Structure 1
Amino acid sequence: MAMQNPYQTYQQNSVATSSPQELTLMLYNGCLKFIRMAAIAMKKNNVEGKHTNIMKAQNILEELRATLNMDMELAKSMDSLYEFMIGQLVSANINNNIETLQEVEELAEEFRNTWKEAMEQK
């Protein structure tokens, strides 16, 4: 019987036992991680690494969009911002533009920090 990676087990348990608010924070953190990894890959001319990490960040933003409650006005604004960020990631990927990638990183970081603050106030 093969042993499971302890880090992978920890991650799975962490996700399974987290609140929806904590899961959202994890998504933001993951998005930032993949954007930063894409930037590193871009600087090293690692096309595959850049593309893979940008796609992971896009998938996270799509997941965040899917969880929005569109009955709320704020959700409609967030949906537009997520859509914009996804478009910018596509553009950064196609044009190999690190500045565009960094703009998306700044937005994602701002969202993450705001979400974290809101969690701490509860």
Structure 2
Amino acid sequence: MITVISNEALHKKSPQEITSLLYEACLDNLEAARNSIEQIDHYKANTHLQKANDILRRLGAGLNYEAGIIADQLDAVYNYLADKTIEANYSKDVKIIDEVISHVTSISLAWQKAMLQNIDSQTKSRKQTANAYEQTSIYES
């Protein structure tokens, strides 16, 4: 089920909520691609798989590598899933799409659980440093 969200509502979301929305959009596109392949509509399947791939690439690009090894591991997982999505697009293979859906669902559920627990392990000084960087980068552009 593809959800439409206004730009105003999107700007009110936290980065964590936007990541959750990206997982949802990725899953929606993967499901739509699977359905399109089953209906032998390869044009629509291609479009949905390209969108899913773009989302996976954006998730990887948005990682905070200061978070440690988990960011590197997530980057590797996102790259793997993006590659599998391309492979599924070339072969129009529903089994590959199901594998990607399974992994994205697992990551999404873990992300939602982490959001509910809302445990922030960054120190106050690290947050201040990051905030100072974000403030100066906004005005330097």
- TM-score normalized with structure 2 length: 0.78
Q: Which residue of 1 aligns with 2:33?
A: 38
Tell me which of 87, 91, 98 is aligned to 2:87: 91
Q: Which residue of 2 aligns with 1:57?
A: 52
Secondary structure of 1:68 counterpart? coil
CA–CA separation in structure 2 for the residues paired with 1:13 and 1:101: 32
CA–CA separation in structure 1 for the residues paired with 2:6 and 2:109: 22
**Larger RCO: 1 or 2 (CA < 8 Å, sep 6+):** 1
Q: How does 1:1-20 map to 2 (within 5 A)?
A: 10-20=5-15
CA–CA separation in structure 2 for the residues paired with 1:44 and 1:11: 31
CA–CA separation in structure 2 for the residues paired with 1:23 and 1:41: 26
Q: Which amino acid aligns with 1:63?
A: R
CA–CA separation in structure 2 for the residues paired with 1:110 and 1:25: 12
- TM-score normalized with structure 1 length: 0.90
Tell me which of 113, 118, 121 is aligned to 2:109: 113
CA–CA separation in structure 2 for the residues paired with 1:113 and 1:88: 20
Deviation track 1:62-119 (CA, whole Å, cap 9, x = no partner) reads 1100111223111111111100001100111111110000000000000100000000
Tell me which of 19, 24, 35 is aligned to 1:24: 19
Identify unmatched segments of 5+ residues in structure 1.
Answer: 1-6
CA–CA separation in structure 2 for the residues paired with 1:30 and 1:52: 13
Q: Which residue of 1 aligns with 2:99?
A: 103
Identify unmatched segments of 5+ residues in structure 2.
Answer: 119-141
Aligned residues: 115
Shift of 1:33: 0.3
> What's the Cα RMSD here?
1.3
Greater gyration radius = 2
Shift of 1:12: 1.9
Question: Percent of aligned pairs with the same residue?
Answer: 26
